[in-house]
Amino acid sequence: MFENRVFKLNDNPDNKQGKYVLYVMEASQREEYNHALEYAIKKANQMEKPLIVAFFITDFYKQSNQRYYRFMLEGILKTKKVIEERGIKFIIRKQKYTEGTLDLGKESICIVLDRNYLKTQRTWRKEISQKVSVSVYEVESDVVVPIEIVSEKMVPYAYLYKSKIEKLIDKFLNPVEKLQPKVSSLTLDIESLEIDSVEEFLKILNIDKTVSTVENHFVGGYDEAEKRLKIFIEKKLYRYAELRSDPTKDYTSNLSPYLHFGQISPLKIVLQILKHYNREDENVKSFFNEMIVWRELSRNYCWFNPLYNHYEGLPKWAKDTLEEHIKDKRDYLYSLEDFENAKTHDPYWNAAQKELLKTGKIHNYMRMYWAKKILEWTDNPKTAFDIACYLNDKYALDGRDPNGYGGISWCFGNFDRPWQERKIFGKVRYMNDKGLERKFNIKEYVNKYDNDF
C-alpha cells in the first residue's frame, strides 16, 4: 500500500523513548485514503504507542484571505472529528508549521509529513528534517502515481507524461486500507485550540477579510467532495468528453478546490469511477487525462523547476518569441486594478473574472482565454504572468496549487509547441473571442455572471 510513496528525509533513527508518533497534516487534509495517516498509524502500532495528528494554522502570510481559509477550516474541522472517532487525538494550533512541528516533535518517536510540491512548503519540510533528532518520513498521497517514479526530471509535454504513466499506473491502483490504532491518544494532555466553529476560528485569525467568502458555491469538507464525486459519476461523466470544454454547461466535476486542499484523494476518485465505468470508455479516458496526466504533470513541473511561479521559468523558445514581440502595439492596455475589477472592453473576459470573484473558480476553457488575454492586454509578458498568478492565487479556491502555475505557464507557451507567428504572442498559441462565439452560446455564459455586478 505504501510502495514508492514513503521517503525518509534524514538519517536519524526512530526515538524508541518517544511518547508518540506525530503526523503533521498539511497537504492531505483528510482521514480516508490518506497514505501518510495510515503510515503513521503503522509506525505507532509497531511501537505500541499512540499517534497524534497535528494541523498548524497561521495568519502570518499577507496573501492569506478568508475565502479559502473558510473552505479549509470547514474541511479540517470535519476531518478532526472523523480522525478522533478512530481514537486519534487531533491537535490544532495557531502556530507556524515548522515551529509547531519542532515543538511537538521533541517528544515524538518519529515525525510523518505529507508531501507538498511547492517551494515554501518543501523548505519547511527540509528545515524540520535537519533540525530534529528523530526520523522524519514524507509520504506522497496526493497523486495516483508518485512523481519521481514517473520521471527523475522535468517532463516537457503531456503526451510524454501520459505514455510514462500508462506503463506504471496499474501498480498504483490499490485501495488504501484503514489500520486500527492499537493505542488511543485521546486522553493525552497536549495543548490544542478547542474551537469547533468555523466562524469562531475566523475571528481569531488576522487574515484579509475583504475578499468575499463563497459558501453559496463551495462548502469545504470530505463529505462535500464525496457528494460532488457521486453527482459527477451518476450525472455528468457520461458526457464529459463532449461537454467538458463548454463553459455554459456544468459537466465537469468541480472537484478542484477539494483536490487542492487534499480533502479528497485522486486515487480514491479513480477507483470509485472504475467501480462504475470501464477504463476504455472515452469519457473516463478524457477525465483521467485531466485528473491524472495534466494534474500530475503540473506537480512534476513544480517539483523540478524552482521558477514554476515566475515568467523566467518558461521554456526558452516561449520567452524568446514573446520578447521579440514586446514592442508590438497592444490594442488595449489594462492595469491590475482594471483586470481585478473586471473592467475590460471584453464582456467574455469580464464574465470569466466575475465568475472567479463570485464563485472562487473559473471554468477551464475560460481560464485559458482569461490568461491569454491578460498576456495580450499588458505591456509586457512578465507583468502579465505576475498578474495572472496574483489574481488566481488570491481569488481561486483551488489557487496556490501546482495546477495554477502549470495552467498559467501553459497559456504562455509551456507544455505547448510553437504555432504560427503573430503579433504580441509571437509563436505562443493564440485564442480569440470569435472562437468562443463559434463554439459555444457564449452570451449565456456572460448573462450568468453579469447579474449582481
Ligand X SMILES: Cc1cc2nc3c(=O)[nH]c(=O)nc-3n(C[C@H](O)[C@H](O)[C@H](O)COP(=O)(O)OP(=O)(O)OC[C@H]3O[C@@H](n4cnc5c(N)ncnc54)[C@H](O)[C@@H]3O)c2cc1C
Binding residues (CB under 6 A) for ligand X: these are 244, 252-256, 259-260, 290-291, 294-295, 298, 364, 367-368, 371, 392, 396, 398-399, 401, 403-404, 406-408, 410-411
DSSP 72-111: HHHHHHHHHHHHHTTT-EEEEEES-HHHHHHHHHTTEEEE
Angle between helices 442-450 and 347-359 (to 10 degrees): 50
Strands 6-8 and 89-94: unpaired
Residues in the chain: 453
Q: Which is nearer to ligand X, 47 or 362 (CB)?
A: 362
Q: Which is nearer to ligand X, 95 or 414 (CB)?
A: 414
Q: Which is nearer to ligand X, 95 or 256 (CB)?
A: 256
Contact partners, residue 145, CB within 8 Å, separation at least 6: 165, 168, 169, 172, 292, 296
Q: Which is nearer to ligand X, 155 or 259 (CB)?
A: 259
Nearest-approach distance from CB 293 to ligand X, in angstroms = 8
Nearest-approach distance from CB 129 to ligand X, in angstroms = 28
Cell of 202: 475566523
Nearest-approach distance from CB 362 to ligand X, in angstroms = 7
Asked if residue 181 lies in contact with residue 8, where contact means CB atoms within 8 angstroms, the answer is: no
Nearest-approach distance from CB 18 to ligand X, in angstroms = 37
Nearest-approach distance from CB 97 to ligand X, in angstroms = 21
Nearest-approach distance from CB 266 to ligand X, in angstroms = 7
Helices assigned H by DSSP within 277-346: 282-288, 295-304, 316-324, 336-340
Distance CA 67, CA 72 (A): 9
How big is the CA angle at 83 (ends 80 and 86), to the nearest 5 degrees? 150
Q: Which is nearer to ligand X, 290 or 386 (CB)?
A: 290
Q: Which is nearer to ligand X, 45 or 212 (CB)?
A: 212
**Which residues are registered as beta bridge partners of 54?**
24, 91
Asked if residue 104 lies in contact with residue 79, where contact means CB atoms within 8 angstroms, the answer is: no
Q: Classify the phi-psi angles of 204: left when phi > 0, otherwise alpha if psi is within -120 to 50, otherwise beta.
A: alpha
Q: How far from chain centre, in Å, is Cα 283?
A: 23
Nearest-approach distance from CB 217 to ligand X, in angstroms = 12
Closest CA to 177 of 268, 77, 90: 268
- Which single residue brings its beta carbon nearest to ligand X? 407
Nearest-approach distance from CB 15 to ligand X, in angstroms = 38
Q: Which is nearer to ligand X, 25 or 411 (CB)?
A: 411
Q: Which is nearer to ligand X, 64 or 252 (CB)?
A: 252
Asked if residue 56 lies in contact with residue 95, where contact means CB atoms within 8 angstroms, the answer is: yes
Q: Which is nearer to ligand X, 87 or 156 (CB)?
A: 156
Nearest-approach distance from CB 308 to ligand X, in angstroms = 12
**Which residues are registered as beta bridge partners of 208?**
65
